[in-house]
Structure 1
Amino acid sequence: MERSLSIYARDASRKNAAQAVGALLDHGIKSNQVTYVVAVDLRKEGLSFGEVRALLFKYWPEEISDRQSGLRSPPARSL
């Protein structure tokens, strides 16, 4: 399951970064792996680290905040 989510994130992020993150959230997906895959692909699309972080923070504020504080994010909800 996690592998297919990664493929989905990669394909979607190539088309439109914001839509990719939004689509993942619409499906209730919040996992470190998907966040990482989206971030890596956004970097490949030419966004700076700051731009990637700002975009992820816009859609995943609690996860980005948890990482800064050293806390782990809650597990992803099942579909």
Structure 2
Amino acid sequence: MPYRAGIVYPVAGEFGRMEMIEVMGLEGFDYSDQCEAPNLGILAVRYPVKDIDQARQRCSPRWPVMARCQSGCHR
């Protein structure tokens, strides 16, 4: 099955990086409306960006939860 992978990191190297894999054609469900903190798993990952609006626009097609975030929610 085809997939896309991405790696994000605050500083190049092995430590602090996060790898994500999106399997193409695999469908799932959006349970984000049922999530409440504290919960198990990774709650948040933050990396500094130069332009938050540009980062949100680039990420929102893949992660609709990010599209719901209004300006200022990152503070």
What TM-score results when the alignment is normalised by the length of structure 2? 0.32
**Structure with more of its chain in helix, by fraction:** 1
What TM-score results when the alignment is normalised by the length of structure 1? 0.31
Which structure ranks higher in relative contact order (CA pairs < 8 Å, sequence separation ≥ 6)?
A: 1
